[in-house]
Amino acid sequence: MFQGSIPALITPFTNGKVDSAAFKKLVEWQITEGSDGLVPCGTTGESPTLSHEEHMHVTEMCIDAAAGRVPVIAGAGSNSTDEAVMLASHAKKAGAQAALVVMPYYNKPTPEGQYRHFKAVHDAANLPIVIYNIPGRSVVDMTLETMARLAKLPNIVGVKDATSDLVRPIQTNNLLGDNFCQLSGEDATALAHLVGGGKGCISVSANVAPRLISSMQRAWREGRYQDAIDIQFRLMPLHDALFCESSPGPVKYLAELLGICSSESRLPICEISDESKQKVKAAAVSVGLLN
């Protein structure tokens, strides 16, 4: 259903407000550069600090700007089931092709609680849902058994896997088959995830290097495996640097250097340190994004 390079879009801010013009420009650039889909209002989009009104506005802007040229998987997760239902229902009404629903964070739900959470969103929104499994931020890790149980629901279509477990995509593929859409949630393991049966990556780095990352994904799909390997090796310094501090701090700093938008974020995300800025600059030069 979904494949390739799918940027988890940053949300530009200016003087504390969403910069709508910069966001629309970013969407257009991503499509022009070859991105295969878009995710607004994910973690990289600072969804935890967006108001409900801002969240819905950004989702609507993305869908309108994309204009059907690439699929939009709208971030619609929350640790409150009612809030996740509301955001996913809005995504459906706004015209998104799917909703990205994160594992409930902080609450630490049991497998049964996880199942009921996703089923409630599934039943209410009537929209394809991609599970976002990220134990590093949500603490809990969805088991294969729970995922298999959820996959029996018609609109649970895939997973964004940010576990860093490279056995997981193979096990998931063996259990659920090739039609269950597996997307990597980590740029550093994106290529290895493809080897294990993945279809693509919901990417942070693609905010600033969309053409390179979409080229890597396309090379893999076309069987040009050495090309894909070469591109991923070239990109690794960038992937590493963009996580030298909490995301999206580093990627927003590089976005500002590239003239995409301001590096402004919302607390508790703050400006990265001078040392981190040097790391990001050096990586961008090594990859060829900056002279």
Nearest to 25 by CA among 205, 238, 259: 259
Helix (H) or strand (E) holding 13: strand 13-14
Mapped onto helix, strand or coil, the DSSP state of residue 198 is coil
DSSP state at residue 164: -
Give first-to-last CA distance, the chain, whole Å.
38
Nearest to 214 by CA among 43, 227, 165, 133: 227
Angle value at C-alpha 157, between 153 and 161, nearest 5 degrees: 120
Pairing assessment for the beta strands 129-133 and 156-161 based on DSSP bridges: parallel
Residues with catalytic roles? 132, 160
**φ, ψ for residue 83 (rounded to 5)?**
-70, -40
**How far is residue 280's CA from residue 268's CA, in Å, rounded to a whole number?**
20
